[in-house]
Each structure stands twice: as structure tokens, then as C-alpha cells.
Structure 1
Amino acid sequence: MRSPRRHPLLVPALLCALAVLAARPTAADGEPGDQDGDSDVSAQVARLYQDAAVATQRYEAGRQEAELQRARAGRAEALLARERQEIAVMHEDLGRIARAQYRTGGGLPLTAQIILAKSPDELMRGQHVFSQANLALENAVGKSRRAEARLAADEKKAAAQWQALEKRNAGLAAMKDGIQRSLEQARWELQGRADASVAAGSCRGAVRLDQPNTQVTQAWVTPVETYELSAGFGSGGERWANRHTGQDFAVPIGTPVRAVGAGRVVRVSCGGAFGIEIVIEHPGGYYTQYAHLAAVTVDQGERVGAGQWIAQSGTSGNSTGPHLHFEVRVTPELGSAVDPLPWLAARGVPVG
């Protein structure tokens, strides 16, 4: 939620601003910070996150097109090789025709042929043979030249298509890399703001992001769309006092976090081992927790639907790297957790 602009030189405006600040609910125990800045960074991360996904899809499509083009280029090269072979055969035919023409008198001047002819019939026959040989030679030369022109055009076309594809793929790769660099920078700026909130023990309040257009038809979903599973429920380790109480989803900072089902936000808090966290109460007496967040997009007391963006993942609190810590509990409090994977599977959401 954006803060209203304040004009400290105008007393009425100042009083209105103070009234708004006093009336506005804050998440958990802190005062709102620079929410305009938080909203801008969160929105930038969300936008770049989607841009990166689109750029990756385009790059992958380009890469697949390049593979198809390579296959087409291989087939075209085979055709060009056959064309070259046919041209070589034509050149051999031209040589044979020229040699045969010379042997049959085609190489003699017409005056010499008249003098050497024994009769008019022989002269006419010689001229007929010469004309036929000359016509065959001209046809062979024309065919050879047309084949060479076609070969040159095919080679030029194949080279142009390949160069265009390489240029397009290089552009896609550069665009993808640029978006990834911008996204990485924005992610760590977002995480820096989250770390400041945790250090102060004061949540900055919800930032509002445009929800995706996709309509969720299931009653239950995974807390993140794309992920790798890391630490599981009941795992042991030095980071936990007893056992790991949830399931970790390894995702980059800024990944949209979704409510796994409809419910009401009963807690938004900052500080402590979980860093920035959200707890949602669901019908049936279960609660879900989303921890180590970089930003939240809902306020305490708000009702949410399945699949709704409620936060952006991060690495706040006691965290060794970017991930979402997800728990299912029978109470809002730590210590009442159940294994979340069978719980989700029982609701038609296999995770793996």
C-alpha cells in the first residue's frame, strides 16, 4: 500500500497525513518504512521475473529453431553436393561432346569441309552431324550454366538463412542476459530492504503487485510454481534446535509465493529465525507458514484465495541461501507442524 505524499509546509496537509498514518494498519509490530520504494523494487522484481521467463522461453524456442535449421542445413548441403556432382558430370559431357565434334569435323572451317567433301551428299551429312553436335553442345552448356546459377543461389540462400538465425539467437541471448543481470541486481536490492526490516524487527507493510491473469481452478496449489526441493520435514542439522519443521523450496529471491489454499492471514511478522513470515489459517483447522521472505503483498487479517500471490521469496532470518520455508501446522504457533508433502498430496497437490 503506497504512502500518501506529504507537504510539511502545509499544516492541514500534514495533519491529514498524520491521520492517515495513524489509521493505517501495520503488519505485526513495526512502523511502515519506505513503502513507495519497497513497492517499486518489488514491482520491478516481479516484472523482471516475468520478463526473464518470457526471454528464456524465446531463447529456448530460438535454440530449438536453430537445431531444426541445422537439420535443414544438413539436408540442403546434401542437395548442394548432388548439384555439384551433377555439374561435374555436365562438364565431363561437355568435354566428350567437344572432342567428338572435333573428331567428326566440327573443328574444321566450312571452306575446308567443302574442299575435302567427296560429294554433295557427304557434305550435307557432315553439316547435319555438325549441326546436331553443335546443338547438343549448346544445350549442354546452357544446362550447365543454369545448374551453376541455381547452385550459387541455393548456397547464398542457405548462408543468409543461417546468418539471420545466428543473429536472432545472439540477440535473444543478449536480451536474456541483460534481463537476468537487471533481475539479479533488483533481487538483492529487495533482499537488502528485507534484511533492514528484520534487523529493525519492524515490518514495512504490504506491497501491492499485479496478480497474474491465470485463473487457478484447483482448491489447493503448491506454494511456488517452479522449484527444487531442498531440506525436508524432519531433517536433522546444526541449523535447527531439534528437527526441520517444514519443507524448503529452493527458489531465487523475488520468486512469487502463493497461498496454497483459501484462508485468512493471521500473522505477518519480521525478525527472529524465520525472518519475514506469513501464517494463513485455512478452513478445517490447519495453518500454513511461509518464511524467509523478501517482501509481503498482503496484510494481517486479509482474506486470500488459492494461488494468490502473497509474498516474494528471499533469504531473511536464519537462512543460508534463497529459499521458501513452508510449514503446515495444526495451530498458528511453532511446534505443531505436520509433514507438508503428504498433507498437500492428500489435497491433490503432489510435490516432487
Structure 2
Amino acid sequence: MRPRPRRSFVVLALLCALAALGGPPTLSQGAEGPEASARVARLFEEASAATQHYEAGRRAARVQKGEARRMERLLVRERSEITVLHNDLGRIARAQYRTGGDLPLTAQMLLADEPEELMRGQHAVWQADLALNNAVSKSRRAEKKLAEGQREAAAQWHALQERNVQLAQLKKSITRKLEQAQWELQGDADRSVAAGRCRGAVRLEQRDLRPTRAWVPPVKTYTLSAGFDSAGERWAHRHTGQDFAVGIGTPVRAAGDGRVTRVSCGGAFGIEVVVRHRGGYYTQYAHLAAVTVDQGQKVRAGQWVGQSGTTGNSTGPHLHFEVRLTPYLGSGVDPVTWFAERGVRL
């Protein structure tokens, strides 16, 4: 009999991950900050948490389904072996019948030429019969355990599938709310730019500010779009920075420690923040929907300086990021190369 297969540790780990994933951290805003900014930031974190739950559930369901299939294969094999054992018993019974198995043993001994040889053969038959009966009993017990394990694995898979459907619905609901809040935030930003009046810094509580490196990309998750020195119809000469394709309201981070030297909301860059770093370098964060710092404020690597948007000369939501030798346009260097020199690969 085979021992009952152990539960996959991967399944247990994923189930624990599902239970351990908590809700998103809370965010707060100052009285001067618009509600849309805080709502977008909160929904971004809720969407991230919902996605983590959903993806963990999908992984757990995939592993659990594989476990159910594995148990089913073992069950089929065990049943096949039981069939073989039954056939063996049938062959023994037929052999006994052909060699006088229908006569009592005492009669067979009286008729046999060599009774001692008959006894030894009969003893061997008894032992074989007993061994096969024991093997059949053990295999049946193994089959029962495997069947129970297969049912349990299948039930857990179905439960995970139902949970994933609920998580998918939650994720969809959060995404819908996030899209609405994003465009409310962008609308507020557009009105500020049109009026030529920069709003004050939005005060958002950043719970995950744990800088472990001196330099970090300006956004956590992104797709690189227009690169440095590339051509485009919307630029008078060449592109002066690196674009990061991100959604409206995405938290924008300071690339490194420094001080905010400019916060403005007019012109081609729309709402922008410029930070001066050690070594004389400046970084610019443009086309924002909101800022979270004040001019003159010190910032740390990874600290939020704003929320991405599509203000100014912009065709869609993204972050325009520049590295400059001076605070002014025209002194830019390639951000990809600049980051690579500091151990950050974009």
C-alpha cells in the first residue's frame, strides 16, 4: 500500500498568503488638499491589494487543481493494481481446481504418490493466497484514502475558484471607482492650469517610505515610452527627457534625496516639480495632476512629490521625467544612462 500523499506545501503557503494579505494602508490629506487626490491614492492602494489577493488566489487554485489531478492519477493506478491482484487470485483458484483443489486435503494426501511434496505445495499455495489477500486489503485501503484526498483537493479547488470570482468582481469595482476619481483629479488639475494658479500641496500619508537605495525610479510600476532625444511632432526639437507611461494619480517619487527648487503649473510641462540633488543634478517631474510637496522642502529618495497626470502639452497620462545639469530646460542628460551609472536599471 502506498502512503497517503502529503499535501503540497506550495498550496499551504499560497492559502496562508491569501489570509495574510491585509487591507490597504489608510491615507490622509490636509485641509488644503483636494479630496480627489486622496481618493485616487487610496484607490490605487486598494486596487493593488485586490490584485495581490486575486493573483494569490489564482496561483493557489492552479496548484490545488494540479494536486487534484495528481491524486486522480494515483487513484487510477491503484485501481489498476487491484485489478491485477484480483486476476492473480483468479489464476491461483483455477490452478487449485486443476490440481485437485476441489478435493479435501486428506483425500488428496491419500491419492498422492508423495504426500510430503503435496503438503509443501499446498502450504506454498496458502501462503500465496494469504499474501494476495493482504495485498488486496492494503490496496483497497490505499484506494479509499486516495479517493478521499482527491475529493478534498477538488473541493478546495472549487472553493478557491468561487473566491477568485468574488475577488475579480471586487477588483473590477475598485477599478471603476478609480477611473472616475482619476478623471475628477485630472479635471481639478486642468482647471488650475487654465487659471494659472497652482494649488497647494496635497498632504497624503505615505506609509511605505522605506528607502533602501540612494536612487530610485520616479514611479514604482511603469512602461517606458518616449525616450531621451527622440523625435516627435509635439516637440520643437528633440525630446528632452524620459516618459513613463502610468495612470492618472500614480504616486511620483523623488529619484533621490534633495530639495524642491520649483513648483509650477503653467506652460508646456503643465504642473511640474523640480528637485535639486547632491552633485549639482536636478530632476524634473512634469505633466502632474497634483503635487505633494512645497517649494523649498527637503525630500528623501522615494518620497512622493506628486501624482501623475496629463497637464500641459501632453497626449495622454504619463510622467515626463528629466535629469538636468541646471534647473533650466536644455541642460538635460539621458535619464536611462544617468540612472544606470547609479546602479538603477530602468
Contact map agreement 2:272 2:286 (CA 8 A) in 1: yes
Letter in 2 for 1:246: G
Distance 1:340 1:252 in 2: 21
Asked whether the equivalents of residues 65 and 154 of structure 2 are also in contact (C-alpha less than 8 Å), the reply is: no
Distance 1:327 1:225 in 2: 17
The amino acid across from 1:330 in the alignment is L
Of the three residues 292, 295, 300, the one matched with 1:300 is: 295
Question: Corresponding residue for 1:206?
Answer: 201
Question: Which of 157, 163, 170 is the equivalent residue of 2:158?
Answer: 163
- Closer/same/farther in 2, CA of residues 146 and 220 from structure 1, 3 Å limit: closer
- Other structure's SS at 1:199 match: helix
Q: Does residue 1:183 correspond to 2:178, yes or no?
A: yes
Counterpart of 1:76, as a letter, is M
d(CA) in 2 for partners of 1:296, 1:245: 21
**Residue 248 (structure 1) shift:** 0.8
Whole-angstrom distance in 1 between the partners of 2:335 and 2:139: 75
Task: Tell me how far apart the structure 1 counterparts of residues 137 and 279 of structure 2 sit (CA, whole Å).
Answer: 87
The yes-or-no answer on 1:57 pairing with 2:52 is yes
Q: Which residue of 2 aligns with 1:350?
A: 344
Structure 1 104/168 Cα, relative in aligned 2: closer, same or farther at 3 Å?
farther
Gaps of 5+ in 1: 4-34, 123-128
| 1:139-189 deviation line (CA, Å, top 9, x unaligned) | 788667645544542332232232233233333333333333332222222
In 2, Cα distance between equivalents of 1:283 and 1:144: 74
The Cα of 1:284 is off from its aligned counterpart by: 3.6
Distance 1:234 1:140 in 2: 77
- Output the TM-score relative to the length of structure 1: 0.73
CA distance in 1 between counterparts of 2:208 and 2:107 reads 97
Distance 2:154 2:102 in 1: 43
Q: Whole-Å Cα distance in 1 between the matches of residues 30 and 156 of structure 2?
A: 51
Computed over aligned residues only, the root mean square deviation of the Cα atoms, in angstroms, reads 3.7
**Distance between the aligned counterparts of 2:149 and 2:208, measured in 1?**
46
Deviating 4+ runs (over 6 angstroms): 97-108, 135-141
TM-score, structure 2 as length reference? 0.74
Match among 192, 205, 208 for residue 187 of structure 2: 192
Amino acid across the alignment from 1:290: Y
Secondary structure in 1 aligned to 2:305? strand
Contact 1:49 1:255 in 2 (8 A): yes
User: Which range moved further: 89-98 or 45-54?
Assistant: 89-98
Q: CA deviation at 1:90?
A: 4.5
Q: Given residue 310 of structure 1, which amino acid in structure 2 is its aligned partner?
A: V
- Deviation of 1:336 after TM superposition, in Å, equals 2.9
How many residue pairs get aligned? The number is: 311
Alignment of 1:67-216 (within 5 A): 67-92=62-87, 146=141, 149-216=144-211
Maintained 8 Å contact 1:91/1:144:
no
* Cα 1:151/1:99, change in 2 over 3 Å: farther
Is the alpha carbon distance of 1:213 and 1:155 closer, same or farther for their aligned partners in structure 2, counting shifts above 3 Å?
Answer: closer
1: distance between equivalents of 2:51 and 2:208?
20
> Is the contact between residue 286 and residue 329 of structure 1 (CA under 8 Å) also seen in structure 2?
yes
Matched AA of 2:177 = S
| TM-fit CA distance, 1:238 | 0.8
Decide which structure has the larger Cα Rg and report it.
1
From 281, 285, 302, give the equivalent of 1:286.
281
Q: Give the deviation of 1:317 after TM superposition.
A: 1.4
By how many angstroms is 1:269 displaced?
Answer: 1.5
Tell me if the contact between 2:186 and 2:309 (Cα under 8 Å) persists in the aligned partners. yes
Structure 2 CA distance for partners of 1:97 and 1:240, relative to 1, 3 Å: same
Deviation, 1:351, is 3.5
Separation in 2 of the partners of 1:304 and 1:86?
70
Query: Which amino acid letter does the alignment assign opposite residue 64 of structure 2?
Result: Q
In the TM superposition, residue 213 of structure 1 has moved relative to its aligned partner by: 3.1
Structure 1 counterpart SS, 2:322? strand
Indicate the SS of the match to 1:253.
Answer: coil
The one-letter code of the counterpart of 1:350 is V
Partner Cα distance (1:269, 1:172) in 2: 41
Q: Which residue of 2 aligns with 1:244?
A: 239
Paired residue type of 2:71: A
Shift of 1:103: 8.5
